[in-house]
Amino acid sequence: MSTHSPSGPAIGRLYDQTTAFATRSLRTLRRNAVVVFWAVAFPALFYLLSVYLFIDTSAMPDDVVPVVKATNAISYGTFAALFVFLNTFSQSLVADVEGGRYAQFRALPVSPSADFLGRFGASFVFAAAAVTAVLAVGAATGAAYELRSLASIPVALLGLFALGLFAASLAVALVGVVPEAKYANLVTISLVMLAFFLTGYNGVQPGMVVAGAEFVNVVPNALATRLAVFHLVPVGDWTQAGLASPGAPTDLGHLVLLGAYAAAGLALAVLSTRHFLYGGEVQ
Examine residue 246 and say whether the peptide bond preceding it is cis (omega within 30 degrees of 0).
yes
Identify the pLDDT of residue 9: 60
49-105 per-position pLDDT tens digit: 999 998 888 888 888 899 999 999 999 999 999 999 999 999 999 999 988 999 899
- Residue-averaged pLDDT of the chain: 91
CA 81 to chain centre: 4
226-258 per-position pLDDT tens digit: 999 999 999 988 988 889 889 999 999 999 999
pLDDT band for position 280 (cuts 50, 70, 90): low
Q: Is the pLDDT of residue 4 over 70?
A: no
CA distance 172 to 87: 10
CA distance 242 to 41: 26
CA distance 138 to 142: 7
pTM across the whole model: 0.92
Percent of all residues in the chain with a pLDDT value above 70, rounded to a whole number:
95
Residue of 3 and 187 predicted with greater confidence: 187
CA distances from 16 to 11, 117, 122, 137, 183 (A): 9, 11, 14, 36, 33
